[in-house]
Amino acid sequence: MSSQFVWFRNFKDVLSSGSWLQSAIFTAVFSFLVAFLSIAISLFLAVRADEVVRGAKSYKTLLMWGYAIAPPVAGLLGTMLFNPLMGDLYILLNSLGFEFNHIENANDATFVVTLIAVWKQVSVNFIFFLSGLQGIPKSVTEAATLDCKSAERRFWTITFPLLAPTTFFLMVINLTYAFFETFGIIDVSTKGSPGGSTATLVYKVYVDGFLGADLGGSSAQSVLLMIMVSVLTVFQFRFIERKVHY
């Protein structure tokens, strides 16, 4: 409640703490996994759904369904599916012989939060990719079909480059999602355990500041986080957007 001016000591403490570093590394890995997987899976689903002729509407509606679910709810669903005493997925994975235990194993816990976060985000990406696909002129795809027999090759040379603006937009959005919005999922499912291995930087800011009442340390972490996200955004726009053709 009282405060002292300590120059940069809070920053020094944060940067020299092992748990912050662990959290920063986890955040980087987690964000990459979530962004990459959710974009890849939703692109695959969107391309497939776009080709469907009969019952296309039902497929599309079902795939968009998840968009309406809030992150904490997704987290709760995941927690129940992975409950060690009665979770269906937990029991399934173990009966397949995986020795799966996200309570104790850091990699397994990372798998659980990544799975929930990706699942939650796929439907959002799906909507954007689907509208992107529908924005590609029929004439272009038809002309390509005459020139090239391989559907896979047509996808990589025609469709994917034309979707590049959408993909870039989704990459920015998904990284932000993985950085900030997955908070609800982590708070409900693992709370950063085991051993702090699934605590993102945002979650750590919350734990130290709002639960631990260490306002100085938590504020220093927020500032560092802001700098990191700014640098990342500048990087994205300067280096990756150049490769995007609108």
Partner 1 sequence: MFRKTLMAAAAVLAFGSTANAATEITWWHAMDGRLGEVVDQITADFNASQDEYHLVAVNKGGYEDTMTAGIAAFRAKNQPNIIQIFDAGAATIINAKGAVKPVQDIMEADGGSFDINDYIPGVRYFYADSEGKMIGLPFNSSTPLLYFNKDALAKAGVEAPKTWQDFEDIAPKLKDAGYEGLAQSHSPWIFFENFMSRHNLQMATANNGYDSTDVKILYNNDALKDHWKHVKAWKDAGYYGYYGRAWGANQDAFLQQKSAMWIGSSGSFGGLKKSAQFEFGTSTLPYWKGVGDAPKSTFIGGAALFAFSGHSAEQDAGVAEFFQFLTKPETQYYWHKETGYVPITNAAYELAKKDGYYKESPDAEVGIQQLSEEGGEWTKGYRLGFYVQIREVIYREVDKMMNGEATIDEAFATIEEEGNGLLKRFHDTYN
Per CB under 8 A, which region of 44-52, 98-106, 115-123, 158-166 contacts partner 1?
A: 98-106
Which residues, other chains included, contact 78 with Cβ-Cβ below 8 Å and sequence gap of 6+? 112, 113, 115, 116, 119, 185, 189
Place of tokens 């990284």: 175
- Angle (CA) 64-130-147 rounded to 5° is 150
- Looking at the Cβ atoms of 30 and 129, the one nearer to partner 1 is 30
Question: Min. distance of Cβ 102 from partner 1 in angstroms?
Answer: 9
Determine, following the binding rule CB under 8 A, whether residue 210 of this chain makes contact with partner 1. yes
Q: How far apart are the first and last CA of the chain?
A: 53
Nearer to partner 1, 31 or 189 (CB): 189
Tell which phi-psi region holds residue 54, choosing left (phi > 0), alpha (psi between -120 and 50) or beta: beta
Run of H or E residues at 24: helix 18-51
CA–CA gap between residue 160 and residue 52 (Å, rounded): 19
**Residue 103 lies near partner 1 (rule: CB under 8 A):** yes
Q: Provide, rounded to whole angstroms, the least separation between the CB of residue 9 and partner 1.
A: 8
83 makes contact with partner 1 (CB under 8 A): yes
CB of 25 to partner 1, least distance (A): 15
- Name the residue nearer to partner 1 (CB basis): 167 or 190: 190
Residue 70 is a binding residue for partner 1 (CB under 8 A): no
Using CB under 8 A, pick the residue from 7, 137, 213, 238 that binds partner 1. 213
CA atoms within 13 A on the CB side of 129: 28
95 lies in the binding site for partner 1 (CB under 8 A): no
Is residue 196 within the footprint of partner 1 (CB under 8 A)? Answer: yes
